[in-house]
Structure 1
């Protein structure tokens, strides 16, 4: 007789934990399951919050101890009638030995590998079973392995981390603390079956005109039962059955093909609806009864990575094409949302990924120093149309190549790719984050163009992981999803701007160039770039509870800023660009204005290089970073408490379906020692960009104001208002204003011109896009003390009317003692005299709205 599959989550039973060296009765009940030790210690009140003050420093002992977790569970009745009785461990972090009724049944040293073991002989019939897991200190074990295999180059933090397959950020990163935690961080289940569905793989193909889709459903059964009968149903997003078939599986796996006419396609955010279908697979007994049912959500879509020659430029494109349409990638990098994985909830995923969509993102890059995220992350990305660039979990180091390590990473990637490959959101598998880039920067001399090997006798044998082991697994398991060996990668070196993707850290890191140079620092695809900013003052007060610690370069502020040399880099960029503020609140604001300006410079200019077919000189930019794992100063757009920095809004407008850009030449009013005052009259170029499928007719309005002489510049009527058409899915050059025209309009060498460009719907007059270009550096500006705006509030609406002078960086907020800011739909504007904007903020509820801007910095 074939029994229905039974599954019992051991999380439904009470769990306990203790320090491994404790006495036998020294156990504490777990507050949650799955769990990790830092989370339990804090919940039990045995340690303070690691994120507050400098508690992190006092809690390093936790990661140096061994810890145990245990539970008791009953043996299911009739268990010995099943062909297979297994314990499945979805994730153990990390060096673990598992005991069932005092017998060792399993040992693990890879956080990313789900495991299962037959326990039919170890269970006690009719009795309770004792399950105990001993976790050894990963910090200690990593150092022990380093002593055996040797030290390896690590660009960030303790190089011993490279020897252990554990989330690398647990050793700390340049945005996060060191918490080398441990525990059963994912579910543990007891499963009983005679036959079982082992795996389902759904792939889709589209005809050139998108009129028909072929859906392939491959079903594999567990090895214990290689023969079976399955029913497969395809269901539309609204639950209607499109087609149903039955097949007999005789050799472990088989494939069924379905034809779907006029399919509802899955599209990335901003390009259509992310329609999802279901493949419902039922395993049937010989008499037709259901043994097991599994349902897989999938999208009918086709994703390709296009690398082809360009017109008039060297190198090749690095372009994503979805459903035959070239997609300009607008994205953010994702780091783990917390240092303790049980603290991450479905709601947290949903809230943050919703913000990504509101930031006009169509892609999230899941960074390689964290972990393969929980199912909820990928499900929500599927539902919201967020493509996922998925790094594998190695980052910023030269990893081991001993036999056991190579075997472990192969098992790891095989398991995770099978787990995740059906998700519509997965757009790219990537071998690592910056491993080859870091090797180059650390002076390892190797031939970057050698992608065929062998590499065992070269200075960088680690390439076998990224260029052989992992791509072979991808070709076998999921050839329909592109694979990229590393990020960055391609060309003469790993950061070649003409081939592949680049990480642009010559701003902030490395050369520390002016952010105004971002337009010249792009590449075919920029997968990392960014600028630091302090978090909201409320966040600062949370992690620095003592008033005496709340000044910009205090020891406590440095404790919550993990980027090496951040204090001097922040000082350089603020000193170069702004009058230095005197209060902590103003310092926070100016750092946030710096971030907003820098990201806008990068995104809007790189997007200009998306010029149409065969001229996709830049095909995407992914900002570092969207989120934080802890309350800190970092590159994040949204801090640990989900408070948005001003750059969130400015980058959202830069990523919007329609945008407008301005560049001025020269971009800077120079003063140098040889020529005390270098004056000039700038010239301007204006362009628009659209991701829409069809051309769009708009009205372009241009204004100019001389902030030095406090007067509006009278422009030619044809220049002030003109009719323009933006091409479909590309940038369009709109206007050139030479310096001779500016001189004709009354601009002199002593003028400082603020130039505004807005695009409007020609019928309704509604503003579609805006850009205001200010003379830089801002530290040269002596803004009138009377610079102000009037604010009126009605319910959840704030109406802001600019006064007689232009305002830079107008950021609306409520008082610190008046609760959190409302959920603003938009914020952080540059305004021209007399201009009106209406801000809507859910939860404002008539509260007083205050404005920060460059002229009222204290």
Structure 2
């Protein structure tokens, strides 16, 4: 078995002298940067981690989430940093000892005992180095030196020339989390560090390099397609034993002899030849004894040109013929439903390439039918323990060498793009997508834990969400993220990491992109929650719509080859069980505008940017992959982050935590058609949160009423990564905004919505269950029997003589909707009673009149208090109970404090 020595924990961080000359660069502004020296001894650091967190823990950096401290932290991203510690190997000595980094952020040179191991330039890859001859019982110093990502990105930009970009920072020139350079909801905090686990691995004979376990489900039978890459120290017979829930599915012999021209290294790794030299910025000349063993590469020959030449122009034989596709070479398998036969045999020979070898099998593809399993479905996560064991020997007395274990499920997924539509099918059934966009949940992703993933994703599932889109300006999330999605039955749409910019296709970036994609497709392919790969976020759209092709650098390579050739080929080779789309938005071909609502995926941003939210009803897109409306965070989150006195919507700290262009102006213009200008920051906070809820409800209810023509919505966005005014439903402190609770009704299996249509009103009755929804539909004084078929929508016109001048109520069973003809209402005459209960308070509210948009803000009572609902409208004589829960004891009288419990009328007439 492999022996693992964890190298996480205590390290030492060293860096620039803060008392020396100030750092400067395009990203920096304001006063000269200076401070106390780090000292020769360095600072204590924690791995996994990052420089910013280590500096904060050492008291050398103020929390950049507070006030405008972000500005004072800018120097950190411009500096170079070094992490050091001693390592040794205890116990019996194996044939091979590897140093493994699961993630380095980003541009690093690694040395052990003064011997250079290699250099990295990609945050989204892992790296493996053979250190057998360098590590023993005596401690030796391990050093990881990080060059500023700015230095690397700006050097590549100088080398390759400028490219258009939606933001001023050079994130498109380095393979790093793009949003660390700032976004319209995030701070500019350019990180560095050993951000994922690091360890020593000792092994002998052979180990499992890469395991790709693709699971599908057809006609009541699960299917497992297994590919395994090995690394060896000895050529001897081996076996693979495959088990499901402890039951043996297959034993696969692995021959001991290799073809003379084949040298096996770690899947995707390159043994560097003595004359190999990397020449990109931020890289070191390789030493003759350098053996790089990180994923994504194979043995490089001295004259090997990775992935072929990188042309400045498109290949003349490339012709786009369909959704995100091109006319492919004869051996290219496009990405649709899984093949009836395993893919052709091949062995990787370098990033992005496959030498097809029909007469040779490493281990796989092996196809195993698995009858009797229950399918994995959205919301119904049937999972099984899949184990692959590598054994030494050919039968008797086998020694276990390595083991790979995952929880997996069996399902098939396709996207029906016929007729320009975009309908997800899981296990041959159409699925209404009720989704949210996911950004990294912390600007410092090394702080994420499995518990935090489980909390945030569990909150999404509890709101009725069935799809998480992992946005392309962030990261490929950790194994924990995808395992939690597997367990919750959450579908995952995974972007490749390209967002809002033109990306060069030349070296040094092209090989990094290919290696990164190959590793992460292989790494994530066993997760049943993963249902689609997407080439990029908004790059195809912006290249055409923003006129990037006419800007300086617009005639250079810009990423098209990645999205229309490279990435679909990698997915087709390594993961043919899932669909691929070239980008989002994307209309399927250049024959249409990339962001056309009539063709496939659509991003609806014109309304938020320029119009009243009622204009969401002007179109019925085929699939809305992004839309949203801003609001500030919860009151306590805002007050904890901003110390402005007086606090105003446009006070300096509030504006610093508003990153969108003219964001507060758009908030004000969004309020204007519906409400008078707020006369206090408290009223502004309440009304902007209410407007966010109304805007999102208008969009989702309208689009959902057109199912299956409009096949889904993916709200921008679920979460925030710091305290900020943004489109999120859960703010940067993890508190629910009222929008979160609105999602629970909008994404419920059954929904009623009164909609304006064709000059009148209709009631859309939406049933997203497998059973009919039958009952008596009440519309004002009218009652009519109705039965809505499973997974369908019925539309009932409202007779004109039933439309009142004030409000209209529609009700079916316990689901209702209210249509208001006017924005205002009178004093509702509320009676409020707060009763202590174990764990908090029950707040009972009864209304004598109409109470619109009643809101209880628990964080105004106590920072840790939560409530079970958002905005509530009470008709005359109705009542409701808010369940307020808190680990601390709550005073019932606190409910009567200003702004704890309020309604629309009291805000408008205060």
Output the TM-score relative to the length of structure 1. Answer: 0.86
Closer, same or farther in 2 for the Cα pair 1:698/1:821, shift >3 Å? farther
- Residues 574 and 539 (structure 1 numbering): CA distance in 2 closer, same or farther, change over 3 Å? same
Q: Write the distance in 1 (CA, Å) between the matches of 2:121 and 2:556.
A: 27
Match of 1:203 in 2: 214
Retained in 1: the 8 A contact 2:858–2:884? Answer: no
Cα distance in 2, alignment partners of residues 406 and 775 from structure 1: 57
**Residues 432 and 129 of structure 1, relative CA distance in 2, 3 Å threshold:** same
Match of 2:347 in 1: none
Q: Which has the larger displacement, 649-658 or 224-233?
A: 224-233
Out of 385, 403, 411, the position equivalent to 1:278 is: 385
Equivalent in the alignment of 1:856: 906
Structure 2 partner of 1:670: none
Question: What does 1:695-734 align with in structure 2 at a 5 Å threshold?
Answer: 695-703=772-780, 715=781, 719=782, 721-733=783-795
Supply the distance in 2 between the matched residues of 1:576 and 1:134 (Cα, whole angstroms): 55
The residue that corresponds to 1:556 in the other structure is 653
Moved more, 44-53 or 517-526: 517-526
| Corresponding residue to 1:139 among 137, 150, 170 | 150
User: Per the alignment, do residues 222 and 133 of structure 1 end up closer, same or farther by CA in structure 2, a change over 3 Å counting?
Assistant: same
**Is residue 787–residue 805 contact of structure 1 (8 Å, CA) maintained in 2?**
yes
1:745-801 C-alpha deviation (Å, 9 max, x unpaired): xx5xxx3x21122221xxxxxx1x22111125x3xx3x2235535445462674645
Q: Could you tell me how far apart the structure 1 residues matched to 2:616 and 2:829 are?
A: 30
Note the C-alpha offset of 1:841.
Answer: 4.5
Within 5 A, what are the aligned runs for 1:771-782?
771-776=817-822, 778=823, 781=824
Q: Deviations over 1:472-491 (max 9, x none)?
A: 11111001111111111115
Once the two structures are superposed, the pairs formed by residues 361-760 of structure 1 within 5 Å of their partners are 361-444=465-548, 462-491=559-588, 492-509=592-609, 512-548=610-646, 550-610=647-707, 616-664=708-756, 683-703=760-780, 715=781, 719=782, 721-733=783-795, 735-742=796-803, 747=804, 751=805, 753-760=806-813
Q: Give the corresponding residue for 1:710.
A: none
What does 1:263-302 correspond to in 2, within 5 Å?
263-269=373-379, 273-286=380-393, 287-302=397-412
Root mean square deviation of aligned Cα: 2.3
SS in 2 for 1:222: strand
SS for the counterpart of 1:567 is helix
Alignment-derived partner of residue 709 in structure 1: none
Q: CA deviation at 1:741?
A: 4.3
CA distance in 2, matches of 1:788, 1:157: 51
Deviation at 1:68, TM superposition (A): 0.4
Q: Indicate the SS of the match to 2:608.
A: coil
1:129 corresponds to which residue? 140
Change (3 A) 1:855 1:228: farther
**Aligned counterpart, 2:24:** none
SS in 1 for 2:46: coil
Deviation at 1:204, TM superposition (A): 2.7
Cα separation, partners in 2 of 1:815 and 1:263, compared to 1, 3 Å: closer
Cα shift at 1:695: 0.9
**1:108 aligned to 103, 109, 120, which one?**
120
Q: 1:278 and 1:320 mapped to 2: Cα distance?
A: 26
Cα deviation for residue 459 of structure 1 reads 6.6
Measured in 2, the distance between the counterparts of 1:414 and 1:518 equals 39
1:813 aligns with 2:857: yes
CA shift at 1:358, angstroms? 1.4
Which residues of 2 match residues 312-327 of structure 1 at below 5 A? 316-327=420-431
For 2:200, which of 158, 174, 190 is the aligned residue? Answer: 190
Q: Could you list the runs of 5+ residues in structure 1 that have no partner in the other structure?
A: 310-315, 447-455, 611-615, 667-681, 704-714, 761-766
1:44 deviation in Å? Answer: 0.6
CA shift at 1:802, angstroms? 4.4
Find the counterpart in structure 2 of residue 252 from structure 1.
Answer: 362
- The 3 A distance-change label for structure 1 pair 800 and 759 is farther
CA distance in 2, matches of 1:341, 1:58: 21
Aligned-residue offset at 1:307 = 1.1
Partner of 1:149: 160
1:8 aligns with 2:52: no
Render the CA deviation track for 1:702-721: whole Å, top value 9, x for unaligned. 34xxxxxxxxxxx3xxx1x3
Aligned length: 767
Quote the offset at 1:658 in angstroms.
Answer: 0.5
Tell me if structure 2 keeps the 8 A contact 1:170–1:339: yes
Q: CA deviation at 1:422?
A: 0.6
Matching residue of 1:829: 872
User: Residue 47 in 1 paired to residue 61 in 2?
Assistant: yes
Structure 1 CA distance for aligned equivalents of residues 234 and 596 of structure 2:
51
Say if 1:444 and 1:60 are closer, same or farther in 2 by CA, change over 3 A.
closer
* Whole-Å separation in 2 of the counterparts to 1:759 and 1:33: 55
Rounded Cα–Cα distance in structure 1 between residues aligned with 2:505 and 2:370: 46
* Mapped pair 1:119 → 2:180: no
SS in 1 for 2:508: helix
Is the CA contact (8 Å cut-off) linking 2:828 and 2:851 kept in structure 1? no
Secondary structure of the residue aligned to 1:56 is helix
Alpha-carbon separation, structure 1, partners of 2:89 and 2:247: 41
CA contact (8 A) 1:229 1:246 kept: no
CA shift for structure 1 position 513: 1.5
The 3-state SS of whatever aligns with 1:403 is coil
Higher RCO (Cα < 8 Å, 6 or more apart): 2
* Contact kept? 2:215, 2:528, Cα under 8 Å: no
d(CA) in 1 for partners of 2:882, 2:374: 36
State the 1:134 CA deviation. 0.7
- Deviating more after overlay: 434-443 vs 558-567: 434-443
Q: Return 114-123 or 226-235, whichever deviates more.
A: 226-235
Could you tell me how far apart the structure 2 residues matched to 1:367 and 1:530 are? 15
SS of alignment partner, residue 320 of structure 1? strand
Deviations 1:413-468 (A, max 9, x none): 1111111111111111111111111212321459xxxxxxxxx9977652101111
SS in 1 for 2:600: coil
| TM-score, with structure 2 as normaliser | 0.81
Give CA deviations for 1:123-168 in whole Å, capped at 9, x if unaligned: 3x4311110011011123222222222221111231x221111111
67-76 vs 600-609, which moves further: 67-76
Deviation at 1:29, TM superposition (A): 4.6
Secondary structure in 1 aligned to 2:692? helix
- Inter-partner Cα distance in structure 2 for 1:460 and 1:800: 62
What does 1:25-36 align with in structure 2 at a 5 Å threshold?
Answer: 26-36=40-50
Quick one: distance in 1 between partners of 2:808 and 2:788?
Answer: 21
Q: Is the 8 A contact 1:793 1:846 kept in 2?
A: no
Deviation of the 1:231 alpha carbon:
4.5
| C-alpha distance in structure 1 between counterparts of 2:727 and 2:603, whole Å | 14
Q: For 1:255 and 1:174, how far apart are their aligned partners in 2?
A: 44
2:833 and 2:240 map into 1 onto residues whose CA distance is 63
Deviation at 1:558, TM superposition (A): 0.7
- The alignment partner of 1:577 has SS state of coil
Q: Secondary structure at the match of 1:122?
A: coil
Q: Residues 175-186 of structure 1: matches in 2 within 5 Å? A: 175-186=185-196
Cα distance in 2, alignment partners of residues 336 and 206 from structure 1: 31
Task: Give the deviation of 1:685 after TM superposition.
Answer: 0.5
- Label 1:11 to 1:793 Cα distance change in 2 as closer, same or farther (>3 A): same
Task: Give, in whole Å, the separation in 1 of the partners of 2:705 and 2:157.
Answer: 48
- CA deviation map 1:606-656 (0-9, x unaligned): 11111xxxxx21110000000000011100000011111111111220110
Shift of 1:388: 0.7
